[in-house]
Chain A
Amino acid sequence: MRRFTLRDSIAATVLAALALAAMPWLMSDFALALTLTCLMYAGLAVSWAMFCGATNCLSLATAAFFGMGAYVTAWGIGTLAYGLGVLLGGLAAAAFAALVGAAVLHLRGAYFAVITFGLGELVRHAITYYEKAYAGTVGRVISEPPETVTIYHVVLLVSALAVVTALVVRASRLGLALRGIGSDEERARTLGVETRRAKILAFSLSAFFPGALGAAMAVRWTYIDPLSVFNPFIGFQTVLIAMVGGAHTILGPIASSVLFSVLTEYLRLQFPYLFLVILGLLLILLVLYLPGGLASLLERWRWGKSRA
């Protein structure tokens, strides 16, 4: 069997994105909203895995980046074009990631996870303080949000871009360096990798997408306050989706974000009181019996086929 080249994978992504771009005219409003959720989580999970899957660093900073993006929109709406706000949201998150990355990326394991979680809280409190002290508000109303179709297309574009970026990074020297760092950081250094720079670069790159997605999705809420956009749940959900899918792959997190979004929606409609319990149980089972994520199922199947 011929292996997929980078060009094949990018072509497949572009084709899939084009097909998805037609959905607003083919789907019901309900299905479109669900697809939008899938796309958002796919973008979040793929960009999370781009850095964390390769380096084995557990970052909980997604909520911080997402919230920053949302606040770029909240502050800019009315004066900034929607698309420009999304771009700025991404750039703000990437710049922030580069800055804090320089300070925290030498930490590993639980320390890194806790510190990145703390970042979200830090930014949330900073914005709360700023809004109260200087703007005299606790939240902001989004007036005149863009059409749903526009939001959908922008989110689709950002998530497709996240997938293409992840594909390119994986095939590049940066990707090789990140895998080396994930395996044995000091060994990678003795083979010539400037690990600090590689990690800051990749962390910052991977922060662009949650920032842009935060800015893009913020207009879906009519009212924005720090507590709702710096929602740690978004960060946890992203990590879970990526890990259940298989964080060292790209297809895994995509598949798992579809699964998650659909399952959550279905369970919420069928079992409005129990759905979180059921979801939690499913998660535990998956982690227990499929530690390599959904992607490992595919690998096992391929392996079986290649031996047969």
Chain B
Amino acid sequence: MREPLLAAQGVSVRFGGLVAVDAVDLAVHAGELVGVIGPNGAGKTTFFHALSGVLVPTSGCIVIVGDDLTGEGAHAFARHGIARTFQTPRVFKEMPAIDNVRFGLEFAGRTRSHAHDAFDEPGTILEFLGLADVAAVPAGGLTPSKQRLLEIGMALGARPRVLLLDEVAAGLTHAEVELTAQLIRRVRDELGLAVIWIEHAVRVLMDYVERVAVLHQGRKIADGDPRAVAKDAGVIEAYLGEQGEPVTEPGRKAA
């Protein structure tokens, strides 16, 4: 089998007595779109922190295209092609939107290029996201939903091989969520990235991804085809027990 772009092996993160992420394995390949779901506090964001080098895991290792980066700084992960968004947008507020996108191109993405070289231009990325008209506006002045889109733009600017999206559709209207989901599929298709996408809106997510992993109390309790996962007894119990949003059978929109 091909070498995965990103492989987490037995990754655990402990905060004092709390085990936020518990021996999670996950491997993703180029062109894969993987959803990650799980109730509040399941450890999804913390797992992303470990995958992007923001946090050093307590145990386990993270291998990016064959290189073990465990213990390295976040900049090393970024230069290896891991780009992420943050659950609460962390744009550079004082900088114009376009410089936010340019930032990753100048640093993380300096030595790579996208499969489509149009995406090597910050202007094209903004246009793709529908943000061309606010290119010169300081990012702090954008609406929260535009800041979320800009977060994706910042990550794309880094010319990633793996894109980690943490609840980029949170707080959006239904139409906006659909739009964002289509956008994500398009970057995956056109740029051939591996995408891992955390989302609370389980139903939308299940419609768009081909594979979904479920975290519960730090452990990965399921990983596979969304239809199979939705029927998994353990998953249903995790959701019913925690917040009562049942994982319904997704209507497959895209194959």
Interface positions of A (Cβ within 8 A of B): 173, 176-177, 179-180, 182-184, 186-195
Contact = CB atoms under 8 A, between A and B. Distances in A.
A190 B103 contact: no
A182 B93 CA distance: 10
B108 A191 contact: yes
Contact of B158 (A177, A186, A191): A191
B66 interface: no
A186 B74 contact: yes
A182 B102 CA distance: 16
Contacts of B77: 190
B107 A186 contact: no
Given A190-B84, A191-B107, A192-B108, A180 B73 contact: no
Contacts of B106: 173, 176-177
A191 B103 contact: yes
A190 to B, nearest CB: 5
B110 interface: yes
Contact of A176 (B94, B103, B154): B103
A192 B79 contact: yes
A226 to B, nearest CB: 39
A191 B93 contact: no
A88 to B, nearest CB: 34
Contacts of A184: 90, 92
Interface of B: 52-54, 73-75, 77-79, 83-84, 86, 90-95, 99, 102-104, 106-110, 154, 157-158
Instruction: Give the one of A183, A186, A190, A193 with max B CB within 10 A.
Output: A190
Interface of chain A: mostly helix, strand, loop or mixed: helix
B109 A192 contact: yes
Contact of A193 (B52, B75, B90, B157): B75
A308 B158 CA distance: 38
Nearest to B158: A191
Given A191-B107, A193-B75, A195-B75, A179 B95 contact: yes
Given A183-B94, A189-B54, A191-B158, 4 more contacts: A177-B107, A182-B94, A183-B92, A191-B83
A182 B103 CA distance: 13
B78 A189 contact: yes
B153 to A, nearest CB: 11
Given A176-B99, A179-B94, A192 B73 contact: no
B102 to A, nearest CB: 8
A191 B73 contact: no
B93 A187 contact: no
A180 B74 contact: no
12 contacts: A180-B92, A187-B86, A187-B91, A189-B74, A190-B53, A190-B54, A190-B77, A190-B78, A190-B84, A192-B78, A193-B107, A195-B75
Contacts of B157: 191
A191 B154 contact: yes
